């Protein structure tokens, strides 16, 4: 059945020779998957055929269709890449091989004694995403096939066990749907989302399906009335357009309802489900139609977007507006040409659409169009830490985006929470390096302000180029958030002379150890991985390779030595009782465990937990083994008493600013005194912190408060 449909679809657009090539691939796949069945009991060949059919509906080239048909023969039939190369050529062989290797790993791994141990899922996601992006940079068609493959698997998920359904659906929602979104393949994106939604939140899925069907009649009559009126108006201007009510997808409705409820807004079953799309022939007709609509109904200010003049990164183009339609209800309207519509539905795939000539060389052309994609690959090349990598991908690629305007009206896409500095680096590296101040919508703002969708940002440069500030890399201050900006700043410092890096680093060590009241021990530095001696540490600090907070973590041990006594009492590290966190606990006298020893807890009849060494014999022969609970040593709950002094220019609001930094860390101020010396003021604060890392963060933030001259620790 599906096979006939596929051939029919291909015949509609392929020449005979190309079709024969695809048929040969089909035959090869049929032969190899013979007698194989899917979990549903269907013949296996249905799967590659359905995958190919989806791509054929997008009129993809013959290489892609053949590869889709063969995409499982390496993995499931033991066919080699060489064999595919001989029969179908290198392009097909590479694509099939690429899809085969693109396996998403299971975030669970078995350790040596057979117990299942959950390993860092973030790291696995990072590795998976890296794989996907690498495959994409080789030939983006690998991803298109993979997405079609995944879609068919999602459509046939019913046959799997519940736990696998959830796992696969989650992975689809986390990785594949955002990827389809970024590649601009909307049709794929919403299908993947709706399918995942169905398995991840079955109740809510049903609820929304019911919601949609309930008031269909009223909704349709409202839309039809509006369509008729638009139709009548555009005909007067000799425009012929295809106008229709645009269906909204279940998952997007769900998200809208969630958003509404968090804003306390009521979701309307009729009007919030209405959207209209108008497809016309030419770009001037798009704008004429827009004018006609705005004449007919009042547009809602701030709801108009011109993605024709300013296409999105994925090349998406369209006019979006929301108007006050009949009875004052807002209705979303999109206006675009047929060509734009194709790009909107198929995104990147539109560039691989079938042409009579060989499509395999199209790569370069499209790469220059997919600017963001190029940049992304460039940016990621130098990021080698997996965790950095996943964070940057999550934010820069899969995360939500804001559109920011340059003063000339150009659009830049940045992740949510990006700052003016991120923007400056996005425009030009030098603009970032020389940035001294920024204006958002004409107002001067501090460089760490979060940008909002639609902001216009102007960057002021210093007259004499002086390079970035090392502060900008301090994660506590959040000057920059994109991996690109961080990378460019780090590269700048890396390029500086070793000598000047060392002296800058020494300054930091001096300043930081003075502030924190700690000495840095040469011997201990040598023990740390990555540093041979203090100048090594200094160089890395000065070059921005090691951050202040990493230094702080290293200094932590030092602090423990100098202030392990609070009020003359030796600090006992707290114990965390897993799952029963607020039960009081005490170290048992029988075995007296010390910090870092393996421990277990015993839930007493008084509902306290006594802490024993794991192999304590009392515990082993305890009468009620079910009272044994898991415990671990707490690491961050230790509170260290620290006295800080801040010297500052006196001004109104200074104390409030300082105390809000401290309370922002969720710690208590034990003592506070401010002494005035005319224009300057001295503030003494005593706090209990969880350690040097936190203390260093507090310092950085207090130092950034206007008027603050110096901050240091009192002993």
The DSSP string of 84-137 is HHHHH-HHHHHHHHHHHH-PPPPSEEE-TTS-EEE--HHHHHHHHHHHHHHHHH
500 Cβ neighbours under 8 A, 6+ residues apart: 542
Q: Shortest gap between Cβ of 149 and Mn ion (angstroms)?
A: 4
User: Which range in 70-78, 325-333, 447-455, 682-690 contacts Mn ion by CB under 5 A?
Assistant: 70-78
Please report, for residues 127, 149, 380, 561, 711, the alpha-carbon distance to residue 102 in angstroms, rounded to integers and kept in the order given. Answer: 11, 12, 19, 50, 52
The backbone torsions φ and ψ at residue 589, rounded to the nearest 5 degrees and listed phi first, read -80, -25
Burial of 260 (0-12, 13-18, 19+ CB in 10 A): middle
CB of 71 vs Mn ion, minimal distance in Å: 6
**Which residues, in sequence order, are bridge partners of residue 414?**
402
Q: Fill in the per-residue mask, 117 to 156: x = in contact with Mn ion (CB under 5 A), - = not in contact.
A: --------------------------------x-------
Which C-beta is closer to Mn ion: that of 50 or that of 62?
50
Which residue, 152 or 249, has its beta carbon nearer to Mn ion?
Answer: 152
Residue 189 CB, nearest distance to Mn ion (Å)?
A: 19
Start-end of H helices in 462-570 = 483-495, 498-516, 522-527, 534-542, 548-562
Closest CB to Mn ion among 153 and 437? Answer: 153
Give the nearest distance from C-beta 80 to Mn ion in angstroms.
18
- Alpha carbon dihedral 22, 27, 28, 34, in 10-degree steps, equals 140
CB 711 within 8 A of CB 685: no
Rounded to whole angstroms, the Cα distance separating 140 from 349 reads: 9
Q: Which stretch binds Mn ion (CB under 5 A): 69-77, 394-402, 514-522, 552-560?
A: 69-77
For Mn ion, the closer of residues 64 and 314 by Cβ is: 64
Measuring CA to CA, how many Å separate 55 from each of 195, 212, 236, 605? 18, 29, 39, 66
Q: Name the catalytic one among 2, 42, 76, 684.
A: 76
Closer CB to Mn ion, residue 73 or residue 390?
Answer: 73
Tell which positions 149-188 bind Mn ion, by CB under 5 A: 149
Q: Which is nearer to Mn ion, 67 or 474 (CB)?
A: 67
484 φ, ψ (degrees, to nearest 5): -65, -50
Furthest-apart CA atoms within the chain: distance in Å: 95
Nearer to Mn ion, 72 or 379 (CB): 72
* Residue labelled with tokens 């099939």: 96
Q: Counting contacts by CB under 5 A, is residue 285 touching Mn ion?
A: no
Residue with smaller CB distance to Mn ion, 48 or 184: 48
Provide the CA 670 distance to its chain's centre, in angstroms. 39
Burial class (CB in 10 A: 0-12, 13-18, 19+), 693: buried
Active site residue 75: yes
Nearest to residue 574, comparing CAs of 631, 633, 629? Answer: 633
- What is the Cα–Cα distance from 4 to 19, expressed in whole angstroms? 13
Distance of CA 373 to the CA centre of its chain: 15
In the list 29, 58, 65, 72, the residue contacting Mn ion (rule: CB under 5 A) is 72
Using CB under 5 A as the binding rule, the residues of this chain from 397 to 416 that contact Mn ion are none
Cβ 196 to Mn ion shortest distance, Å = 17
Shortest distance, position 72 Cβ to Mn ion, whole Å: 5
Tokens standing for residue 695: 């203390």
- Closest distance to Mn ion from the beta carbon of 347 (Å): 21
* 319-324/330-337 β-pairing: antiparallel
Q: Which is nearer to Mn ion, 46 or 512 (CB)?
A: 46
Within 13 Å, how many C-alpha atoms sit on residue 527's CB side?
A: 8
Least CB distance from residue 545 to Mn ion, whole Å? 43
Cβ distance to Mn ion smaller for residue 57 or 100: 100
Q: Name the residue with tokens 């002379």.
A: 497
- Residue from 20, 75, 120, 670 carrying the catalytic annotation: 75
CB of 53 to Mn ion, least distance (A): 13
Distance CA 348, CA 141 (A): 9
Residue 48 C-beta: closest distance to Mn ion, Å = 7
* Window 27-66: contact mask with Mn ion (x via CB under 5 A): ----------------------------------------
DSSP letters of 675-710? EEETTEEEEEEEEEES-HHHHHHHHHHHHTSTTEEE
DSSP state string for 398-433: IS-EEEEE-TTS-EEEEETT--HHHHHHHH-HHHHH
Residue 366 CA to residue 655 CA, distance in Å, equals 57
Least distance in angstroms from the C-beta of 47 to Mn ion? 6
Of all residues in the shown chain, the one whose CB is closest to Mn ion is 149
Rounded Cα distance, 524 and 554, in Å:
9
The C-alpha atoms of residue 255 and residue 272 are separated, in whole angstroms, by: 12
Q: Which is nearer to Mn ion, 69 or 414 (CB)?
A: 69
Q: How many residues bind Mn ion (CB under 5 A)?
A: 2
CA dist 574 and 219 (Å) reads 61
Could you give the residue numbers annotated as active site? Answer: 75-76
Q: Site residues (CB under 5 A) for Mn ion?
A: 72, 149
């Amino acid at each position: 059945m599906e096979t006939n449909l596929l051939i029919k679809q291909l015949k509609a657009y392929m020449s005979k020779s190309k079709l024969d090539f695809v048929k040969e691939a089909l035959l090869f796949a049929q032969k190899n998957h013979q007698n194989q069945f899917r979990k549903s009991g269907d013949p296996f060949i249905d799967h590659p055929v359905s995958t190919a059919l989806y791509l054929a509906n997008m009129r993809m080239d013959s290489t892609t269709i053949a590869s889709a048909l063969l995409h499982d023969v390496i993995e499931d039939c033991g066919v080699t890449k060489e064999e595919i190369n001989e029969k179908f050529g290198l392009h097909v062989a590479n694509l099939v091989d690429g899809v085969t290797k693109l396996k998403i790993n299971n975030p669970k791994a078995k350790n040596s004694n057979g117990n299942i141990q959950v390993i860092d899922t973030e790291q696995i996601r990072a590795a998976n995403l890296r794989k996907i992006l690498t495959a994409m940079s080789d030939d983006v068609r690998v991803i298109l096939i993979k997405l079609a493959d995944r879609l068919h698997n999602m459509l046939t998920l019913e046959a799997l066990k519940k736990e696998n359904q959830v796992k696969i659906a989650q992975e689809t929602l986390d990785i594949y749907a955002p990827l389809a979104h970024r590649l601009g393949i909307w049709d794929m994106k919403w299908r993947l989302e709706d399918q995942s939604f169905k398995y991840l939140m079955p109740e809510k899925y049903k609820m929304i399906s019911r919601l949609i069907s309930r008031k269909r009649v009223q909704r349709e009559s409202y839309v039809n009335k509006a369509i008729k009126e638009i139709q009548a108006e555009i005909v007067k201007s000799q425009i012929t357009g295809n106008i229709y009510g645009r269906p909204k997808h279940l998952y997007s409705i769900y998200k809208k309802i969630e958003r509404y409820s968090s804003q306390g807004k009521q979701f309307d079953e009729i009007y919030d489900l209405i959207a209209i799309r108008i497809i016309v022939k030419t770009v001037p007709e798009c704008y004429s139609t827009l004018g006609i609509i705005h004449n007919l109904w009042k547009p809602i200010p701030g709801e108009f977007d011109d993605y024709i003049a300013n296409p999105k990164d994925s090349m998406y183009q369209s006019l979006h507006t929301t108007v006050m339609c009949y009875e004052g209800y807002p209705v979303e309207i999109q206006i675009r040409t047929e060509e734009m519509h194709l790009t909107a539905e198929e995104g990147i795939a539109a560039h691989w659409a079938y042409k009579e000539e060989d499509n395999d060389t199209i790569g370069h052309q499209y790469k220059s169009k997919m600017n963001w994609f190029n940049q992304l690959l460039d940016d990621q090349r130098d990021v080698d830490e997996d965790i950095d990598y996943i964070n940057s991908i999550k934010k820069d690629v899969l995360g939500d985006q804001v559109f920011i305007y340059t003063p000339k009206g150009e659009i830049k896409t940045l992740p949510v929470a990006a700052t003016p500095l991120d923007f400056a680096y996005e425009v030009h590296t030098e603009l970032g390096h020389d940035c001294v101040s920024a204006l958002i919508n004409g107002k001067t703002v501090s460089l760490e302000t979060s940008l909002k969708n639609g902001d216009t940002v102007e960057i002021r440069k210093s007259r004499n180029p002086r390079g970035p500030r090392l502060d900008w890399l301090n994660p506590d201050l959040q000057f920059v958030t994109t991996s690109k900006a961080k990378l460019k700043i780090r590269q700048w410092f890396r390029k500086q002379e070793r000598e000047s890096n060392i002296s800058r680093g020494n300054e930091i060590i001096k300043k930081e150890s003075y502030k924190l009241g700690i000495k840095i021990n040469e011997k201990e530095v040598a023990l740390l991985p990555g540093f041979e001696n203090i100048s090594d540490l200094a160089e890395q600090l000065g070059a921005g390779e090691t951050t202040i907070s990493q230094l702080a973590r290293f200094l932590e041990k030092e602090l423990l030595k100098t202030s392990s006594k609070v009020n003359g009492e030796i600090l006992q590290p707290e114990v965390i009782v897993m799952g029963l966190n607020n039960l009081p606990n005490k170290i048992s006298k029988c075995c007296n465990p010390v910090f870092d020893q393996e421990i277990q807890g015993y839930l007493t009849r008084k509902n306290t937990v006594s802490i024993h060494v794991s192999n304590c014999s009392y515990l082993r022969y305890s009468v009620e083994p079910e009272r044994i609970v898991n415990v671990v040593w707490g690491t961050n709950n230790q509170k260290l008493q620290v006295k800080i002094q801040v010297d500052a220019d006196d001004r109104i609001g200074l104390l409030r600013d300082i105390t809000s930094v401290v309370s922002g860390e969720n710690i208590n101020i034990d003592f506070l005194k401010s002494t005035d010396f005319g224009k300057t003021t001295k503030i003494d604060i005593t706090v209990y912190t969880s350690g040097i890392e936190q203390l260093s963060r507090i310092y950085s933030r207090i130092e950034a408060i206007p008027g603050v001259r110096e901050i240091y620790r009192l002993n």
